[in-house]
Chains A and B, each alone.
Chain A
Amino acid sequence: MPPDQPLEPTGSQPRHGIQRLAEPHVLFPALALIITLLLWGGAYSLVEVERNNADASARTLTRDLTETYEAQVVRVLRDIRRDFQVMQFTSELHGSDATLAVLEDRGLLPPGFLFTVSILGPSGELLASTRPDPSAIDYRTRLPGALHSDELQVAHSVPDPQTGEWELTFAQRLDAADGNFAGVAVITVDAAFLVAAYETAKMGEQGSMGLVGTDGKIRVRRTGNQVDAGEEINYQRLVPDPNIVDTNVRLAVSPIDGIERYIGARQLYDFPLVVFVTLSRAEQLAPTEARVNTYLWRTAAANALVLLIVALLWRMSHKLAVSRRHELQARISHARQIEYLAYHDGLTGLPNRSLFSKLLGQSIAQAHRHHRQLAVLFLDLDHFKQINDTLGHDAGDQLLCEVATRLKGCLRESDTVARLGGDEFIVVMPEVSDAKYTRTVARKIISAVASPYILAGEAFRVTASIGIATYPEDGLDEQTLTKNADTAMYKAKEEGKNNFQLYSDKLRSESLDRLNLESSLRHALELDQFELYYQAKRDVNTGEVTGMEALLRWRHPDLGLIAPMRFMAIAEETGLIIPIGKWVLESVCRQSAQWREQGISRVGVSVNLSGRQFFDPALPGDLTRILQQTGVDAASLELEINEAILMRDPPRSLTALTALKDVGVKIAIDNFGVGYSSLALLRQLPLDAIKIDRSFMRDLSDAAGHKPLAEAIVAMGHTLGLTVVAQGVESEEQVVFLRDHDCNEVQGFYFNNPIPAEEVAAMLKGLATGQH
């Protein structure tokens, strides 16, 4: 990305922001801030409105008061001017000396308690006065202008010499009837009278009203109840534009007392005076400020309350979150505990069977993937029951815990030891390079377990037996490996305990016979798991098929096709051979009859008898019935009996053979030459053929000394008038030898393998067309 290109925000960021807002430590402060801003914003605007209203009404009040005051002052001044006019008129009629007396008599003088009236002569001498102390005042010094001035004069205020109160002096020239200067009329007025309109209720203690001369000299000024005069102020500032019609109100700080005031002022028409009214801003706005204060306090209180509520909510939310988290943690830890209990042994804390089986499954999968070996060690304590019984269960439990600890000490980190229950432990070693390592570990475990234990204050010794199964040789799955390790452990017990055994092929087949065959053999007949194979016997010279030997096969659902030598011993032991043998005879005879009917072959069939079957007294009767039922000629059925069986009990054998011979079947001695037949007995027995044991055929090829023995057997058979059959013929060399020595028939892989019944027809047809 070029450096000047701005990074684009990823799509998740805005959502992240909104999610963050919902988090309590953002939400609640934000809420508090927003509410606070709203509250104070509202309060501020309310205060602004209040202050603006107060300001506006103070200005209005100032203007109204100013205009009212102006009207009142103008009226009073006009009254004074009228008084001067009356005095002029009276002095013209009666002379200036008599004027005051005339007016007083007529009640035309202004009220004496506020006004004084004096008449001065042309040179300013006092002619008459209503003053109680007329001699104390020389008006000539008070008046600002000349005595003969035509203008109405407004003198500066001076204190009354008697009372000390300010008084204001007005003067007007008096003319004689001929128009000549006749003197001066003087009216003084109590200055306080001119500010009598001051109302504390409206104007407060710090308002002011008064009169200023156009010369800037204050004639009278009242603030509260205080009346003053004489200060100089800036007339220009007070009345910037004398001709303006509307009263202009402005806010300014008084130069006299430093108080900020609303100031209204008006230049009077026709008089050299300005009226002014001022209102103290602080006083006028005091009620508003008090209200504002109330607002602000209430806002603060409301804000504090809101903050408190938000804080409480925050705290509650925090507590809730914490308790939720605790609950969740408790649930998780509970679940973990339950899981731990489900997968661990409560006593030793080792993995239990469930966990072990899981781990073993995983280990097997890994070993399979990486083509590695793994070993399973099944360990059982020897004589643990005795310890439990003599020392008590507590001691037993203690022992098991100690054993668990020692086992762990013997293993690598990657190995797992589990307790299956009782005194059984199992170890899985997922990485085993060779069997040697497994043996080393087993020895280590045995010696570790064998060290003395201190139980109930006494030293004890315990030994262990270990069985070992290895993946993949001893099993591909978890159950097989465990079972086989267990089997090997039993083997170790049998071997005297305190040792270990490896599961082997031998153990495997033994256990197979023991565990599987016996039980499944019982159901093999019902489940129709037996089958018959046939192997041809041939004439050694012509190669003609002279007979078919029936061979029993067991088609086991798991183990596949099983030869008789693997299950015949069990069948004999359990007596199952009787029904099985009967089934074989029936099946063979039925098959033989079928072949004859189909015209396939007229060759005889032979069946092997076991010892138990042979000595079964019911056999001749059964045989007779079977032959009758199938319609098979007795002479075409040959029974083969092992030489060893015949020689077990010769007199009984003779009896049994005779009974069979009576039925009409042929008799052959099977596996001849390895038993201990006496020639005398052989002569007595009603025999038809001997079958030379396959071991002689094997020996023909290697040791020269065996050949004469075979020759002797063949010769002896001929001597006894018996057919001689060679078994296990597998080579041309053997065939040549047998032909040279007049052996009658041969049987073996060189000519024919055993084949199922349904293939027999094809095989015979093949021979007939000379394909072999």
Chain B
Amino acid sequence: MPFRESHIRSALAVLCLLLSLQGWAEVAVVVSRDTPVDNMPTSQLQNIFLGRTSYLPGKLRAVPLDQTEGNEVRDAFYRDLLGQSPAQVKAHWSKILFTGRGRPPRQVAGDEEVKRLIADTPGMIGYIDAASLDGSVKALELTP
């Protein structure tokens, strides 16, 4: 069936193009290179970024680093990895902050700033567009 095979390939190609146009960025979770962690469960990532825990695997102090709002990578990170809309995240941190049970992560603008801060701070954890990955930081493998 060579005719059909070629059709399927074309369809997949069109789909990939559409996804990239919609800004479906691939998000990478990053830590400093000397952080002794290579992977972590997605649930722990969620807990760290929603303020429920402040530790990385191996009892290392975790310092989450957020990006500023209106950022595609940020929206993708919360939507894909934390399952939260921007409004939900805002409401979540509003409540924690208002009731005095914690402070939201520091926000910085852009992948480069994230990489700059993380590279020098062991335990700091953030996220960037996968395309921005370079040797300055280490991407963590997320396990289910």
Q: In the bound complex, what is the Cα–Cα distance between A193 and B70 (angstroms)?
A: 19
Give the residues from 70 to 98 in chain B that come closer than 8 angstroms, CB to CB, to chain A. 70, 90-91, 93-95, 97-98
- Contacts A112-B68, A113-B69, A113-B90; A193 near B107 (Cβ below 8 A): no
Task: Give the chain B neighbours of A317 by CB distance below 8 A.
Answer: none
- Contact at A111–B98, with CB atoms within 8 Å? no
Closest A residue to B86 using CB positions: A113
Which single residue of chain A is at the shortest CB-CB distance from B104? A111
Q: Does B22 contact A (CB under 8 A)?
A: no
- For the complex, is B106 an interface residue (Cβ under 8 Å from A)? yes
Q: Is the CB of B98 within 8 A of A113?
A: no
A190 and B98 within 8 A (CB): no
Contact of B107 among A72, A111, A132 (CB under 8 A): A111
How far is it, in angstroms, between the C-alpha of A384 and the C-alpha of B90 when the chains are bound?
132
Kindly list chain B residues whose C-beta atoms are within 8 Å of the C-beta of A132.
70
B104/A196 in contact, CB under 8 A = no
Cα distance A194–B99 when bound, in Å? Answer: 10
CA separation between A193 and B90, bound complex, in Å? 9
Collect the chain A residues with CB atoms within 8 Å of residue B91's CB: 192, 196
Does A196 contact B106, Cβ atoms closer than 8 Å? no
Please tell me if B135 contacts chain A, counting CB pairs below 8 Å.
no
Contact yes or no, A111 B97, CB < 8 A? yes
- Shortest distance from the beta carbon of B127 to any chain A beta carbon, whole Å: 16
Tell me the chain B residues, 88-119 only, with Cβ under 8 Å from chain A. Answer: 90-91, 93-95, 97-100, 103-104, 106-107
The count of residues in chain A whose C-beta lies closer than 8 Å to any C-beta of chain B is 15
Q: How far is the CB of A202 from chain B (nearest CB, A)?
A: 13
B residues in contact with A114, CB < 8 Å:
90, 93-94, 97
Decide: A196 and B70 in contact? CB cutoff 8 A: no
Q: 8 Å CB contacts to B: which residues of A705-762?
A: none
Contacts of A76 in B (CB 8 A): 98
Contacting B106 at CB < 8 Å: which of A72, A75, A107, A190? A107
Q: Of A72, A75, A113, which contacts B93 at CB under 8 A? A: A113
Cα distance, A113 to B93, chains bound together (Å): 9
A92 to B46 CA separation, bound complex (whole angstroms): 42
The answer to whether A75 and B100 touch (CB under 8 A), given A112-B68, A114-B90, A193-B94, is yes
Of B90, B98, B104, which is within 8 A of A72 by CB?
B98
Are B99 and A111 touching (Cβ within 8 A)? no
> How many whole Å from A702's CB to the nearest CB in chain B?
166
Q: Which residues of B contact A190 (CB under 8 A)?
A: 90, 94
Q: Are B93 and A111 in contact (CB under 8 A)?
A: yes
Knowing A107-B106, A111-B107, say if A196 contacts B100 (CB, 8 Å): no
Which of B95, B100, B104 interacts with A113 by CB under 8 Å? B104
Contact of B98 among A107, A112, A197 (CB under 8 A): A197
Q: Is the CB of A196 within 8 A of B103?
A: no
Q: How far is the CB of A167 from chain B (nearest CB, A)?
A: 13
Chain B contact-residue range equals 10 to 19
Q: Which chain A residues lie closer than 8 Å to B70 at the CB level?
A: 132
Taking a contact as CB atoms under 8 Å apart, the answer to whether A193 and B68 are in contact is no
Known: A107-B106, A113-B90, A114-B90. A196 touches B68 (CB 8 A): no
Interface of B is mostly: mixed
* Contact indicator per residue, chain A 89-115, by CB within 8 Å of chain B (1) or not (0): 000000000000000000100011110
Select the residue from A107, A113, A193 with max chain B CB neighbours within 10 A. A113
- Cβ–Cβ < 8 Å partners of B69 in chain A: 112-113
Measured CA separation A193–B99 after assembly (Å): 10
Q: What's the nearest-Cβ distance from chain B to residue A424, in Å?
A: 123
Given contacts A111-B107, A112-B68, A113-B107, contact A72 B97 (CB under 8 A): no
| Chain B positions within 8 Å of A111 at CB level | 93, 97, 103-104, 107
A114 to B93, CA, bound (A): 9
- In the assembly, what is the distance between CA of A114 and CA of B104, in Å? 10
The reply to whether A112 and B107 form a contact with Cβ atoms under 8 Å apart is yes
A72 to B96, CA, bound (A): 11
Taking each of B68, B99, B106, B107, which has the highest tally of chain A beta carbons within 10 Å of its own beta carbon? B99
Quick one: CB contact mask for B35-79 with A, threshold 8 Å, 1 for yes? Answer: 000000000000000000000000000000000111000000000
Given contacts A113-B90, A132-B70, are A196 and B107 in contact (CB under 8 A)?
A: no
> Which residues of A sit under 8 angstroms from B99, Cβ to Cβ?
72, 196-197
B85 to chain A, nearest CB (A): 13
In the complex, what distance in Å separates the CA atom of A113 from the CA atom of B109? 12
Residues of B within 8 A of A113 (CB): 68-69, 90, 93, 104, 107
> Are A193 and B98 within 8 A (Cβ)?
yes
| Nearest CB of A to B106, in Å | 6
Closest to A71 in B: B100
Chain B residues within 8 Å of A112, by CB: 68-69, 107
**Quick check: B107 and A192 within 8 Å, CB to CB?**
no
Q: Which single member of A75, A107, A192 contacts B94 (CB below 8 Å)?
A: A192
Distance to closest chain B CB from A522 (angstroms): 142
Q: Of all chain B residues, which has the CB nearest A76? A: B98
Return chain B residues, CB-CB under 8 Å to A196. 91, 94-95, 97-99
Q: Which residue of A lies closest to B66 (CB)?
A: A113
Q: Which A570-590 residues have C-beta < 8 A from chain B?
A: none
Least distance between B97 CB and chain A CB atoms (Å): 7
Q: Are A193 and B97 in contact (CB under 8 A)?
A: yes
CA of A190 to CA of B87, assembled, Å:
12
Report how far A107 CA is from B121 CA in the complex, Å.
Answer: 16
Within the complex, the shortest CB–CB distance from A767 to chain B, in Å, comes to 164
Q: Which residue of B lies closest to A225 (CB)?
A: B91
List residues of chain A with CB within 8 A of the CB of B90: 113-114, 190
Question: Is the beta-carbon distance between A194 and B97 smaller than 8 angstroms?
Answer: no
Q: How far is the CB of B109 from chain A (nearest CB, A)?
A: 10
Q: How far is the CB of B7 from chain A (nearest CB, A)?
A: 45
The answer for the CA separation of A73 and B99 in the assembled complex, in Å, is: 9
**B residues within 8 A CB of A107?**
106
What is the distance, in angstroms, from B110's C-beta to the closest C-beta of chain A? 14
Interface string of A48-82 (1 = CB under 8 A from B): 00000000000000000000000010011000000
Find chain A residues with CB under 8 A from B103 CB: 111
User: How far is the CB of A526 from the nearest CB of chain B, in Å?
Assistant: 142
Alpha-carbon distance between A76 and B98 when the two chains are bound, in angstroms: 7
Q: Please report the C-alpha to C-alpha distance between residue A113 and residue B66 in the assembled complex, in whole angstroms.
A: 11
B28 to chain A, nearest CB (A): 22
A192–B95 Cα distance when bound, in Å, is 10
CA distance in complex: A107, B68 (Å): 14
What is the bound-complex CA distance between A112 and B91, given in angstroms? 14
B107 contacts across to A, CB distance below 8 A: 111-113
Q: Name the A residues within 8 Å of B98 (CB-CB).
A: 72, 76, 193-194, 196-197
A171 to chain B, nearest CB (A): 21
Min CB gap B99→A, angstroms: 6
Contacts of B106 in A (CB 8 A): 107
Interface string of A504-545 (1 = CB under 8 A from B): 000000000000000000000000000000000000000000
Which B residues are CB-close (under 8 A) to A197?
95, 98-99
Pick from A72, A107, A193, A194 the residue with the most CB of B within 10 Å. A193
Q: Using an 8 Å CB-CB cutoff, how does the interface string of A185-196 with B read, 1 for contact, 0 for none?
A: 000001011101
Cα A75 to Cα B70 in complex, Å, equals 29
Q: In whole angstroms, what is the CA distance A76 to B99 when docked?
A: 9
How many angstroms from the CA of A192 to the CA of B92 in the assembled complex?
Answer: 11
A residues less than 8 Å from B93 (CB atoms) = 111, 113-114
Complex interface bits, A353-382 against B, C-beta within 8 A gives 1, otherwise 0: 000000000000000000000000000000
Residues 179 to 231 of chain A near chain B (Cβ within 8 Å): 190, 192-194, 196-197
6 sampled A-B residue pairs with Cβ under 8 A: A72-B99, A112-B68, A114-B94, A190-B90, A193-B98, A197-B98
Closest 9 CB pairs of A and B: A196-B94, A196-B98, A196-B95, A193-B94, A111-B104, A113-B69, A112-B107, A197-B98, A113-B90
A residues near B (Cβ < 8 Å) are: 72, 75-76, 107, 111-114, 132, 190, 192-194, 196-197
Interface residues of B (CB under 8 A from A): 68-70, 90-91, 93-95, 97-100, 103-104, 106-107
- Given A111-B104, A114-B97, A196-B94, 7 new contacts (CB under 8 A): A111-B103, A112-B68, A114-B93, A192-B91, A192-B94, A196-B99, A197-B99
